[in-house]
């Protein structure tokens, strides 16, 4: 499953292609891919303008505004004369990470817990629709896309036909189309109003962003917690966006065994872990993520961070630090690779 660096890379790649574009049509080819009422989804999304592309944890977010609202925004000029936020298409690098979450954070009022700060619609009564959620009529302000294991989002020209794995097609006002392809059908798309965000348990339960939380606050997340440190890093309600790859890589750099009890690690060691976690994530974003099997960025290119793995996927190979064979185990049901010599329980 794509983790934070992969979703961040996709968001940054899609931003210059989608920002300012109006969605003119939606074709749902697999109703199971749309969370909620697929028919309502197909009615409410067309006509809205994509004003920003963001991310929250592993969730890709497209900010949606009505056409008249987009035209009145004066932050920057986007395609077709539409004013939009966040116009930069400069990719992030390890030295100066540019997050892709700005639009989503402003719309959702997201805090460290990800809970929305408002409910109800925004008064655009001409665009209200029922999404099938509790609370009645709502205006979608965000389009959430979870790629899960095999989901992909690509912008294609009008000459490209959908394939057997294309689940949803978004027609754009420049003639191009955004395809959501998903071979295994685990991914989903979801239209979200501010009220939906306030009641969506997944969104409300998300932990803080690892690239935004300060080291002392990161350490405090684990104070007195029972459970192994890797299991808690994988828990999206504790910290958002971390998966198997970046948990293993950051724990190795911090010299912490993945099965160490989180509550027994000192604040100093946890602050060190935070620093390495940030470094690993930034380095991976600079390399456009890690491609193990299915992941490709918004341009169809593979990531390159897998070429820099120190432990993940290297079971039995020599440790890059001490030369001893790396060990494999299971933590939270996930295959875990670590060095018994270099990584300590306490």
Catalytically annotated residues: 2-3, 58, 334
The helix (H) or strand (E) run that includes residue 2 is none
Around 267, how many Cα atoms within 13 Å sit in the side-chain half-sphere? 6
For 38-58, b/e burial (b = at least 16 CB within 10 A) is: bebbbebbebbbbbbbbbbbb
**Contact (CB, 8 A) for 254 and 310:** no
In the three-class reduction of DSSP (H, G, I as helix; E, B as strand; rest coil), residue 228 is classed as strand
Q: How far apart are CA 135 and CA 283, in angstroms?
A: 42
Residues 6+ apart with CB under 8 A from 227: 261, 262, 263
Distance in angstroms (rounded) separating the CA atoms of residues 79 and 83? 8
- Compute the distance between CA of residue 192 and CA of residue 273 in angstroms, rounded to an integer: 34
């Amino acid at each position: 499953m794509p983790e934070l660096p992969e979703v961040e890379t996709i968001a940054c790649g899609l931003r210059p292609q989608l920002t300012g574009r109006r969605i003119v049509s939606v074709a749902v080819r697999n109703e199971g891919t749309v969370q909620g009422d697929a028919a309502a989804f197909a009615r409410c999304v067309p006509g809205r303008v994509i004003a920003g592309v963001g991310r929250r944890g592993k969730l890709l977010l497209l900010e949606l505004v009505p056409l008249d609202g987009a035209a009145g925004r004066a932050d920057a000029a986007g395609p077709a004369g539409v004013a939009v936020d966040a116009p930069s298409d400069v990719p992030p690098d390890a030295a100066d990470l540019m997050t892709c979450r700005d639009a989503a954070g402003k719309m959702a009022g997201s805090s460290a817990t990800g809970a929305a700060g408002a409910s109800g619609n925004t008064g655009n009564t001409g665009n209200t629709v029922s999404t099938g959620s509790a609370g009645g009529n709502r205006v979608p302000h965000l389009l959430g896309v979870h790629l899960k294991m095999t989901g992909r989002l690509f912008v294609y020209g009008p000459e490209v036909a959908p394939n057997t794995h294309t689940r949803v097609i978004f027609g754009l006002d420049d003639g191009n189309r955004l395809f959501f392809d998903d071979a295994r059908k685990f991914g989903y798309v979801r239209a979200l109003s501010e009220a939906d965000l306030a009641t969506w348990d997944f969104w409300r339960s998300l932990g803080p962003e690892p690239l935004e939380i300060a080291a002392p606050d990161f350490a405090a997340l684990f104070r007195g917690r029972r459970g192994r440190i890797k299991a808690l890093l994988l828990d999206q309600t504790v910290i958002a966006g971390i998966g198997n790859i970046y948990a293993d890589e950051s724990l190795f750099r911090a010299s912490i065994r993945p099965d160490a009890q989180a509550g027994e690690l000192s604040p100093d060691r946890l602050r060190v872990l935070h620093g390495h976690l940030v470094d690993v994530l930034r380095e991976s974003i600079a390399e456009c993520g890690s491609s193990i099997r299915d992941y490709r960025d918004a341009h169809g290119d593979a990531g390159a961070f897998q070429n820099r793995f120190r432990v993940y996927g290297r079971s039995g190979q020599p440790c890059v630090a001490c030369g001893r064979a790396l060990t494999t185990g299971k933590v939270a049901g996930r295959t875990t690779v670590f060095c018994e010599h270099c990584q300590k329980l306490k």
